[in-house]
């Protein structure tokens, strides 16, 4: 299971953007997602990268710059977007971890906490607390797996589905504003890049 931009991504015809050398039309702020793609890599040595080549290690003399260092840049975008997104679910008494859990449960049946951890990257202790709160509110159910008795399968209850339906509408409306002015082909390209970065993280974690 892979995270997406709330499911708004759709396939569309491939189009190029002549007004930008990297093929992405800059329609968001400097810290927006298209800004991330357009400006990376930006080096303190002012060396220009060849965008047609696969990214490799930086050349000697290159300094780490926050705006072009992907881990820092992605973290900053993530924290800011989650902070602004919070209004879509906190008004209904759902915290950020609980929101993530409910998104995963809305997509799949019989999910385990391990599945949620692998999908969202949220630590297990935080997931457990979120599950406890959602269970206390009657928004999710817990059932021991018939296949593996060590696993507890999780589902949204009818009440949980009603709450999530409201949250989902709010979140999708927020996302439309978040990606306003960005082509669907650009968003799909971004998702493909994120999948590759995630695969690289899996590989690094196995080293």
Pair (183, 117) in one structural domain: yes
Domain interval for residue 145: 91-189
Are residues 106 and 149 in contact, defined by beta-carbon separation less than 8 angstroms?
A: no
Q: What is the pLDDT of residue 67?
A: 84
- 50 pLDDT above the threshold of 70: no
Q: What is the pLDDT of residue 148?
A: 79
- Alpha-helix residue ranges (DSSP H) falling in 137-207: 158-178, 184-206
Question: Minimal CA–CA distance to 154: which of 169, 143, 162?
Answer: 143
Pair (81, 100) in one structural domain: no
CATH number at residue 133: 1.10.10.10
Q: What is the pLDDT of residue 28?
A: 32
Q: What is the pLDDT of residue 139?
A: 97
Confidence of residue 21 (pLDDT cuts 50, 70, 90): very low
Are residues 139 and 102 in contact, defined by beta-carbon separation less than 8 angstroms?
A: yes
Burial class (CB in 10 A: 0-12, 13-18, 19+), 152: middle
- 47 pLDDT above the threshold of 80: no
Pair (58, 72) in one structural domain: yes
Q: How far apart are alpha carbons 39 and 147 in whole angstroms? A: 48
128 within a domain of the structure (yes/no):
yes
Q: What is the pLDDT of residue 140?
A: 95
- 53 pLDDT above the threshold of 90: no
Which of residues 60 and 179 earns the better pLDDT score?
Answer: 179
Peptide bond into 41 cis (omega under 30): yes
198 within a domain of the structure (yes/no):
no
- 74 pLDDT above the threshold of 50: yes
Asked which of 36-45, 67-76, 88-97, 159-168 is least confident by mean pLDDT, the reply is: 36-45
12 within a domain of the structure (yes/no):
no
Q: What is the pLDDT of residue 84?
A: 92
Residue in the structure block whose two tokens are 């965008």: 51
| Claim: this prediction has a pTM higher than 0.85 | no
How many domains would you assign to the chain? Answer: 2
Pair (101, 42) in one structural domain: no
Q: What is the pLDDT of residue 109?
A: 79
Beta-bridge partner residues of 73: none
Taking each helix axis from N to C end, the angle separating 113-120 and 96-107, rounded to the nearest 10 degrees, works out to: 110
Segment 157-203, tens digit of pLDDT = 999 999 999 999 999 999 999 999 999 999 999 999 999 998 998 89
Q: What is the pLDDT of residue 48?
A: 41
- 66 pLDDT above the threshold of 80: yes
Burial class (CB in 10 A: 0-12, 13-18, 19+), 74: middle
Domain boundary among 41, 56, 85: 85
The pair of three-digit structure tokens given for residue 199, joined into one six-digit string: 């695969």
Q: How far apart are alpha carbons 20 and 24 in whole angstroms? A: 6
Q: Give the three-class secondary structure for 2.
A: coil
């Amino acid at each position: 299971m892979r995270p997406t931009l709330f499911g708004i991504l759709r396939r569309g015809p491939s189009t190029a953007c002549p007004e930008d050398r990297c093929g992405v039309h800059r329609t968001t702020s400097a810290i927006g997602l298209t800004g991330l793609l357009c400006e990376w890599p930006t080096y303190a040595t002012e060396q220009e990268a060849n965008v047609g080549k696969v990214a490799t290690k930086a050349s000697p003399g290159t300094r780490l710059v926050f705006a072009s260092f992907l881990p820092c840049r992605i973290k900053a975008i993530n924290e800011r977007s989650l902070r602004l997104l919070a209004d879509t679910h906190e008004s209904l008494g759902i915290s950020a971890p609980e929101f993530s859990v409910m998104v995963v449960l809305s997509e799949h049946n019989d999910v385990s906490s391990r599945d949620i951890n692998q999908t969202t990257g949220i630590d297990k202790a935080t997931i457990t607390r979120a599950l406890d709160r959602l269970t206390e509110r009657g928004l999710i159910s817990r059932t021991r797996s018939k296949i593996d008795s060590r696993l507890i399968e999780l589902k949204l209850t009818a009440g949980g589905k009603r709450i999530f339906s409201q949250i989902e509408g709010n979140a999708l409306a927020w996302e439309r504003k978040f990606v306003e002015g960005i082509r669907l082909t650009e968003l799909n390209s971004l998702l493909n890049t994120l999948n590759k970065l995630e695969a690289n993280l899996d590989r690094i974690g196995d080293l």
